[in-house]
Structure formats: structure tokens, C-alpha cells
A and B are shown apart, each in its own frame.
Chain A
Amino acid sequence: MMTKLHVMRAGGLLMLVLLVTETFAAEGRIPRLSNGHPDFSGIWQTTSAADYDLEPHSARPGTPPGAGVVEGDSIPYLPSAQTQRKKNFEKRAQDDPRLKCWTLGTPRGIYYPEPFQIFQRPRDLTLVFQFGHSVRTIHTNGTLHPTKTDNEYWLGDSRGSWQGDTLVVDVTDFTDETWLDRAGNFHSTALHVVERWTLIDANTIEYKATLDDPQVYSKPWTLGVFLHRHREKDFQLIEDYCYTLGFDQFYPPRPDEKP
């Protein structure tokens, strides 16, 4: 009997070991498209305080503290850009484009604290943002940036390629109307962003963006956040067109109230 029990225990232990190994392996595996490239499909959101201020900051009214998401801690502004930066910070409660519900831009849309959904085909990734419900396409079909160079897109022009399992996205053709965060960090139309998207497990994306803008920064700099997959049952985006809130009350017609 003892022997049999030991065998059963041993078998149970073996099963447990196999199960743990299997689970571990499953966590290490990342979803892939049929063409073998990583599949980023899903609903994602950062838990970082990046949108409040990319740089390290203590708590301020309306702003939770954050250790910062910039490599080297501070954004290397040119001396000539400091005035604008200071002005933006002082007027952030009025001037942040987010307050008008305008398209947040790239990379801000990625680390804004509302979810966005990635839909992916071999030829492209479509990013639908809950906030403002703007839509960004990252082309992965070998197409190049437009030959016309005076485009000023709110989300930029995004062309992606694969370096192993990392999606590298070159983004150009920006407007200068977007901010990088609520603290007023900013850029010009000369902004050039290179994003690196990597699934470090099935439910986590390591997102890095290198920003170069010779009119505003003294050298390229890099920010990084983790994006977490929403796994709540039946989770879905709920559109947030907040610029409509001011006129919501006027529609649709209703029966006149009886006096």
C-alpha cells in the first residue's frame, strides 16, 4: 500500500511539475499571426503615470507622483525651447489639448490612461483609441512614408517593420499641435518618433519610443512604458468623444414638457 501511495504521490508530483512547466511555458509564449510575426491584437493600457508627467515628479494637485518614464530622467530640451516648455507648464490647466478632447497624438495616445485596441492583419495594425476615438494605422506592408513632405498629421505617418519579434515603427509627418503629457512637454513639426513594440509575455507589451526633434531637443531621447492586456470578462472600448459633451443636451428632440 505504502509503495502504491508513494507511486501515486510521485505521479501527482510529476503531474504538478508538468502542469507548472506547461503554464510557465504558456506564459512565455506570445500570440502570433499565421505569418509567424507577433500578434498584438487586444485591448491595452498602461498603469504608469506617464501621461501626468513624463519626467520624475512628486505629487501635485490632480497629479499622482511618478518616477518618470524617460531614460536618463530628463528630456534634453534646447535652451531655446525652455521658454515654451515653462509657459506650457504654467498654463497646462487651460492649454492641454486633451482638455479639448483633441487627438492625443503619437506617442501620447499610447500611454494615456484609457484603453486602446489593436486590430492586426499582416498588412497593418489598426489602433482604435477610446479617448477621442481616433484611429491610427501602422502600415507593415513595405510601404514608405509619403513622398509629399508637408503633411501634418495628428497621429503622424506610421511605417512598421520587424526586427525579430520587435515591431519597429518609424513615425513622421507630425502637426505641432499635440503635447506629450499633461505637464506641457512638447515637440515641433520636425518630430521624428521611432517606436519599438515587444511582447515580453502574452499579456504585456514593452513599448519604447525614441523622440528626435532638432528644433526642440538637443539630442534624441527615449521613453518606455509597459502596456497591459485587459483580460476582464467581456471588456470592450466605450467611445469617449468628450468634445461632444457641451452640446449633448440639444439632441435628440424630445416631447415638449406639459406645463
Chain B
Amino acid sequence: MKYALLAMIAVLPISTVAQQAGQGGETIQISKTVPVILSGKWTGPRLPDGQPDVEGHWSNTIANHNNWTDPQGGAPGDAHPPQGPRSERAPSRVSDPADGQVPYQPWARAKQQEFAANFSNPVKPQYVEPLARCAPAGVPKSFTWHGYEIRQYPGYVLFLFNSGTRIIHLDGKRHLPESIKLWNADSRGHWEGNTLVVDVTNNNAKALFGRTGDFASDNVHIVERYIFDNDRKHYNYVAQITDPTVYTRPWTATIPARRWDEADTINGWHYEASVANLPGKALLHEHEERVCIENNGPFGQVAIPEAH
């Protein structure tokens, strides 16, 4: 009882997501289109160390991790899948190849389909979506799972996700040794005008991309381009994903995001913030503590017999 409230907060978004998948999930799915944002000059404000100032809260505008290539198409096994033609929903997150499909090798396509077919009744542990175990969402799934905060420092960009943390090192040091594999991978970045370019290696690839079971192996190499609009309200996450173990060719993922700030209403999915106690001063929102494993019993559709 003593942490029932926290547990509810932690669990609610997930059950809400499951319900919303069948209803179109309007509160999560706030757009069906991907804005065009070109790499180029940054004309917005800068931090004292010269980095473009992109600090604050952000969240993707399209959908959660229900479905990688038909983001608003519902999770596999959805009892009430969205109706209407595919063209009425947001495009695939796969922006290259043009068909919107992940260019899997045949064995990998079979594995992805096997996961999707078993997702709603996961009779084996490998069919449980790892987020249901409170695993970090990793790269790139974190960009489709709740809102997140960017904080910047000389030499670093810090991403505080709902489930996971990424420290982007801007100092050019070499990557960790290849034998080290991590849920949130290892990131080296630099700024090119309005674009944060991040080289991502050491990914353990265990997080998968979402409920459709799309995946990479731990050989995956990702080059991310975070292209920030000079309006300071939007950015596109554009990632080139290369993995000769799993795919037939490199492919590109695109995930649009928008900023959330004090002009917005706090939102339990996109904008998990609270009102700071600052009497007599302007409204200020602040980041809430995020824990998962500590406050949750199993919620992986009853697939996990024990919480730990």
C-alpha cells in the first residue's frame, strides 16, 4: 500500500497504451506526418560552451513502440486494430528503403515474425517485450517510449529517458572496447550546425525496437542525426542503422519529436513533469524521479512469474 500510488503511476501508462492502441491512441498519437527539417545553420540560442541550446523536455509525435513500421497500426494481436486504409496513418519509421520495411535477411525476418505472432500470448521468455521487465528501452526504442529530457554540459549531452539514460560524449574519446555491450550503447557525438551527430556502438541490442519484435544484433552500428529546427519546437531523429548480421543493407529510421514546456499541460505519457514549488515566481516544471523495477510487479501480460 505504501507505494501503491507510485506503482500506479508507473503501470498506468502501459495499460493505457494497451487500451489506446485499439482506439487510435489519440493522446499519444498527436501527428500523422513527419515534418521536413533540413540540416544547416543553427540560428537559435547557444550555451556558454557554444553548443546549440536544445535543453528541455521532448517527445515523439507519432506513436509509442506498439508497431515499428506501421506506428499507428496497433500492437500485434490487438483485439481492436485501427480501421481504415494504411495511408490514413503515420508513415513507417523506416524512411529508407522507400517501401518502409526493415531489410531483413530471411532468418531475421522469420524471427521478427515469430516474436510478433507470440507477443500477445508470450509462452516463452523471449517473446516478452523487454520493457515489460523494466529493461532500458535502449537505442532507438527510447525515442518512442514516453517523453524525455535533454540536459547539456560542456563536453556532454545527457538524455534522461523514461527507461534508461544516455551520456553522449562530445570530447572525441575512443569508444569502449568492443567486448562491452550495453543496453544504452556507447555514444560519441559532435555538432554540425543544427545537427547533433552521434556514433553509437557497443549496443547489446537486447531492448528490441518494440512490440512487433523488430531488432538488430550486437554487431549493430548506428549513426544518429538529431536535426533541430531553428523554431526550437521540433527535431527529427534520423538514424542510419547498419548490421550485416541481420540486414541485407543499411537502412534509415526517422522519428519526429516536439518540445514540451510550461506552455503545455503536464501529460502522463509525453511530459512526465511536476510543478515546482516556487511561491510567487513564474510557473516552472521539473523532472520527476523515474524508477521502474522497484515499484512494479510483473506486468508483462502475466508472462513473468516473478518481478525479479
Contacts and interface: CB of A to CB of B under 8 A. Distances in A.
Contact of A239 (B48, B160, B183, B216): B183
Interface of A: 34, 41, 97, 100-103, 117, 119-121, 126, 128, 133-137, 139, 141-147, 150, 152-155, 175-177, 189, 234, 236-239, 241, 243-244, 246-248, 250-256
Contact of A102 (B151, B276, B287, B294): B294
Given A121-B153, A137-B286, A143-B286, 19 more contacts: A34-B48, A128-B158, A133-B136, A139-B276, A139-B286, A144-B279, A146-B274, A154-B294, A177-B294, A239-B136, A243-B293, A246-B308, A247-B125, A247-B130, A248-B206, A251-B130, A252-B206, A253-B115, A253-B213
B218 interface: yes
Interface in B154-202: 156, 158, 160, 164-165, 167, 169, 173-174, 176, 180, 182-184
A139 B164 CA distance: 21
Contacts of A252: 205-206, 208, 215-218
Contact of B108 (A103, A238, A253): A253
A253 B112 contact: yes
A237 to B, nearest CB: 7
17 contacts: A119-B153, A128-B167, A133-B164, A133-B184, A136-B289, A139-B276, A141-B276, A143-B277, A147-B277, A177-B3, A243-B308, A247-B125, A251-B130, A251-B206, A252-B216, A254-B217, A255-B107
A131 B190 CA distance: 27
B153 A120 contact: yes
A258 to B, nearest CB: 11
B135 interface: yes
A244 B153 contact: no
Main secondary structure of the interface of A (DSSP, over half): loop
A253 B111 contact: yes
B65 interface: no
B206 A243 contact: no
B259 interface: no
Interface string B203-243: 01111100001011110000000000000000000000000
Contact of A144 (B169, B176, B277): B277
B125 A250 contact: yes
Interface residues of B, number: 60
Given A119-B153, A126-B151, A102 B293 contact: yes
B126 interface: yes
> Which residue of A97, A136, A143, A155 has the most chain B CB atoms within 10 A of its CB atom?
A143
Contacts of B291: 103, 134, 154
Contact of B2 (A128, A139, A189): A189
A152 B6 contact: yes
A143 to B, nearest CB: 4
A136 B288 CA distance: 9
> Which residue of A175, A189, A239 has the most chain B CB atoms within 10 A of its CB atom?
A239
A114 to B, nearest CB: 15
Contact of B151 (A121, A236, A256): A121
Contact of A128 (B112, B165, B176, B293): B165
- Rank and list the top 6 A-B pairs by shortest CB-CB distance, nearest first: A253-B111, A251-B206, A250-B126, A144-B277, A143-B276, A252-B205
Contacts of A244: 133, 135-136, 183, 206
Contacts of B125: 247, 250
B276 A155 contact: no
Given A139-B286, A239-B182, A100 B293 contact: yes
A144 B278 contact: yes
A126 B158 contact: yes
Nearest to B209: A252
Nearest to A128: B165
Contacts of A246: 308
A14 to B, nearest CB: 36
B208 A251 contact: yes
Contacts of A238: 176, 180, 182
A17 to B, nearest CB: 34
Contacts of A128: 158, 165, 167
Contacts of A247: 125, 128, 130, 133, 135
Contacts of A41: 153
B284 interface: yes
